[in-house]
Amino acid sequence: MLVNNAAVAIPPGSLSAQLNTAFATNATGPAVIASTFLPLMIASTHANKRIINISSGAGSIGQRLNPSSQMYKMYGTWQYRASKAALSMLSACMEVEYKEHGIRVFAFDPGFTVSNLSDHNKAEHGARSAEASVKPLVELIEGSRDEEEGKLLHNSGFYPW
């Protein structure tokens, strides 16, 4: 089991530096880690082989283009959104290519959670507790959402890619 849970929202610097850092952390890092651990996962005899990439609904292109979505109204977060969209594509590629090795791959958005991701991720802004956000992740880890493999999952359903 591998859970990739690294994230950076809007790092300091020029737009170019921000994009490079966001992609390195949110997309390239999880891809390199998954690739590094792939031989060990292939060799494992564990029945529950899975990779869970912690993504974000903010990276959903469908949500960004839907005027009724909260994700539509998020401005100034290109760096984060584009890198999480890239992580979604990487997850989809892994899901297809690692399936032959018995490895399930999921992209999962835990939802708006209290964290140090940004100054906005606070309870007073509506962020949920880490405890509330991790419960659906545990369900995913335990296999109760396996039929949803190949989708951008969130705590109570899924987003369009």
Catalytic positions are 80, 84
Would you say the C-alpha torsion 130, 159, 7, 14 has a positive or negative sign?
Answer: negative
**Beta-carbon contacts of residue 120 (< 8 Å; ≥ 6 apart):** 127
Cross-strand partners of 105:
51
Stretch (H or E) spanning 159: strand 157-159
What is the rounded CA–CA span in Å between residue 139 and residue 93? 23
State the amino acid at position 157 in one-letter form. Answer: G
Asked if residue 74 lies in contact with residue 58, where contact means CB atoms within 8 angstroms, the answer is: yes
What is the rounded CA–CA span in Å between residue 21 and residue 49? 29
